[in-house]
Amino acid sequence: MKFHYHTLETCHEASGIAVVIDVIRAFTNAAFAFSKGAKEMYPVSRVEEALQFKAQTPGALACGEVGGLPPEGFDFGNSPTQTNQLDLSGRVIVQCTGAGTQGIVRSSKAEVMFAASFVVVSATVTHILKLDPDSVTFVITDQLDSERGDEDLACAEYLESCLKGKRPNPAPYIERVYSSRDAMIHLDPNFPAFPKSDLDHCTNVDLFNFAMPVFRENGRHVMRAIKP
């Protein structure tokens, strides 16, 4: 099995199986939404698109962020700490974020897609191995420059090691999450909208026993939680 790495700038080239990674916080938050009963999630790239989807879909909720905070008209943000307190039983959710959902929308050539973070690693690996692919592409959504995105790269490298049949120690990978640039604001008590508990949730390896494959249906992307 060969492995390839792309960013938001190059993921339009990704083909075959693409694993779109956003650890802090989009695809950790999505997993928490599923754990609280969400039926399905529709990742989109623009706030206006999310609000239009919400308006046209009875009972739908909008979640996500711009600059880390929920835009006006969204029902909740991108914080797994907050999402973990919600009852989302049976709800349809549209998600829009600055990195994670952009990676899904931009990976237009991928034939199979998974949204991933540390909380769903083993289930994601199990699903991928069942497909017996020749190659897997990781989309590192937060890698905008040399100082950004190491938390997503760490998750991708951990996934690669697991896909190779190894049993890596998660500790050094998790340390990279806490040391990443995007973690800094969560470690500063002056920013209560970015709680440190979010980092604790984002680094809870294999908290959930489902993967989050992304399908294309009726011209939209839709993400569901599926157990191995």
CATH at residue 210: 3.90.1560.10
Q: Which two tokens stand for residue 186?
A: 């969560």
In total, how many domains does the chain have? 1
Residue 1 lies in a domain: no
**pLDDT band (50, 70, 90) for residue 148:** low
Residue 45 lies in a domain: yes
Domain boundaries, position 208: 8-223
CA distances to 30, 34, 75, 185 from 38, in Å: 9, 5, 14, 28
Residue 228 lies in a domain: no
Residue 41 lies in a domain: yes
Burial of 60 by CB count in 10 Å (0-12 exposed, 13-18 middle, 19+ buried)? middle
**Separation between Cα atoms, residue 20 and residue 107, nearest integer Å:** 8
CA distances to 34, 82, 123 from 89, in Å: 9, 15, 22
Residue 171 lies in a domain: yes
Residue 3 lies in a domain: no
24-39 tens-digit pLDDT:
999 999 999 999 999 9
Tell me the whole-structure pTM to 2 decimals: 0.96
**Separation between Cα atoms, residue 61 and residue 76, nearest integer Å:** 8
108-146 tens-digit pLDDT:
999 999 999 999 999 999 999 999 999 999 999 987 655
Instruction: Give me the percent of the chain exceeding a pLDDT of 70.
Output: 98
Residue 133 lies in a domain: yes
**pLDDT band (50, 70, 90) for residue 192:** very high
**pLDDT band (50, 70, 90) for residue 228:** confident
Q: What is the mean pLDDT of the chain?
A: 96
Number of H helices, E strands in the chain: 8, 9
Residue 185 lies in a domain: yes
